[in-house]
Amino acid sequence: MCLQMQIRSSEVRNMEVILLSGSTIDEGRLAKGGDKFTDDYTQECASCWISPVDFVSLGSPNKVKVTSSNGKHSIVVYAKCTDSVQPGHVFMPRAIWANVVVDPDTLSTGSPLYKGAPVNVEPTDDEEEVLSAEDVVLKVYCGGQ
């Protein structure tokens, strides 16, 4: 069970962590079922799983902005506090939201670095929008059309 406490004195505004990405059971079920444009898919995949220690350090946010290590790409996603992730690491389901911040260079392997990529995580205002999969394509990859 995740800690749900507020520690204002030790909150940080920006945390460098290691991104791990992979499939979840629900992500696979929704993706294979053709439900990538549903609210359920967005709730499951537009998320950043954070350890209780790091979650509290960030101020127990509802949403976070995840930014690539070079600062060029970022995405706002839901924050999920879980004991399944170690401090200093975050997990994002392997979906379009994680793809925004994963370096596309494959280092000649044919696959980007889905595990072990450094990223920055910071709490964001609840007013910041978590984009749907369709909106990520339109606003991030198609230049805001």
Q: Is the distance from CB of 118 to CB of 20 less than 8 angstroms? A: no
The secondary structure of the chain in percent helix, strand, coil, rounded to multiples of 5, reads 25, 30, 45
What per-residue confidence (pLDDT) applies to 25?
79
Among 140, 126, 142, 61, which Cα is nearest to 97's? 140
What per-residue confidence (pLDDT) applies to 104?
74
Among 17, 118, 116, 123, which Cα is nearest to 68's? 118
What per-residue confidence (pLDDT) applies to 64?
98
List average pLDDT for each run of 10 residues in the chain, which is 145 residues long. Answer: 48 90 81 80 92 96 95 95 96 92 74 81 94 90 70
SS (H, E, C) 34-52: CCCCCHHHHHHHCEEEECH
